[in-house]
Structures are given as structure tokens and as C-alpha cells.
Amino acid sequence: MCDLYRKSGISGFTTNPTLMRKAGITDYERFAKEALAAIPDRPISFEVFSDEFEEMERQALKIASWGRNVFVKVPVTNTRGESAKTLICRLSGRGVQLNVTALMTLNQVIEVSRAMNSCPAGYISVFAGRIADTGRDPVPVMRDALKVLEECGSLELIWASPREVLNVFQADAIGCHVITATRDILDKLHVIGKPLEEYSLETVKMFRDDAVKAGFCIDC
């Protein structure tokens, strides 16, 4: 995060318990406060992790107190599939900046946007990449979600869980406000516009180099 903070084009950061666990983080609050100290002027989203709405609310208020650039991530439902709309409405009314996450349907966008009616600033995070994983085109869902948010001046739509650089162009083409990107995708941005013949040759060289480095041979 600190490395990317020094680069242009990155307007904010988001975390979730899965990414933090993969990174080996064991002290949630310590990590969050260190990140906020290093990145004081861009939005950073930290997610609640309880499965009970009362405890989610306590965690959300605590997380929100860590800084003015904090957005609290709240899942659209708990693990029992119970809607978080009542909690979202309460937190919005208390002035908490929210990032409601894990949405995948237009009905969820409609319900959440209504619950966030009084939110001072917020994101609605639709997992377009996971929609695509099911064989469905996420673009119509994202385009319709933007129409829903046209009347919600304080809310922005996030194209979440992108799978490839093409998704950046798709999000931009429909006017999506934000797209999240993993380091793997960011590292591919340098190939945008590369001549395909050149890219083809680089690929051939990569296969050859890796075969040599691995010491592969096929006996006659």
C-alpha cells in the first residue's frame, strides 16, 4: 500500500479480511492504524468481520473513529443471508462513511442505495468480476447500477474484483466511478497498447527462457 501510495493514479485503498489474512496480518487494529498513519489523505476502507449486526455496528463505529479518511466496509448481508439494510441505515444516520460490499444484483444496489440515503459519503461495491465468473456479462448490471445512483449524489459505484486489464476499460467506458485493482492487474498496465507481434515474441522468449532455466530435456 505504501509503495502504491507513492505512485500516481491511485486514488484510494481498500482491504478485506481475506486479503489481510493472505498478507499474514494478525493484529487488525494495529495494521489499520499504521496504514492510516502512512496514508492520511486518501480514502481507505476497513471491513467489519462480525456476523451479528449489533456487533457489526460496534465494530463499525470503532473503525470509523480511526480517521476522517476511513470508510467502513459492511457486507450486504450476514452469512445467514439476512439483509444489512437496517444497520446500513443506522450507520448512515450517524454520519459513518460506508463502503457496502459484496453486492452482485441490481435489487441489492437499489436496496442498499435507499438505506444509504443519509450517508455523508459512500461507496457501493458490486463484484463485477465474480458476476463474470458465473458466465454472466457484468456490464449491463454495472450500467444499470449507475442509473440507480444518479439520484444519490453522495454515493459512488465501485467495479470490484476485476479479473483483467480489459475490465478497467469496460468500467471507464460506462462511467463507473471507481474500479479496484489488485497488484497483479496494476503490474500489467504497462502493456496497454503494446504491438501484438512484439507481445507474441516476448511470450515465445518467455517460454524458451523458462524451459532452459528449468533444465528440461526429452530423451531421444
Interatomic CA distance for residues 3 and 57, integer angstroms = 32
Ramachandran area for residue 116 (φ above 0: left; ψ -120 to 50: alpha; else beta): alpha
Interatomic CA distance for residues 163 and 171, integer angstroms = 12
Q: From the candidates 22, 73, 194, 213, give the one annotated as an active-site residue.
A: 73
Residue 191 gets which letter from DSSP? G
Active site residue 73: yes
What residues are annotated to the active site?
73
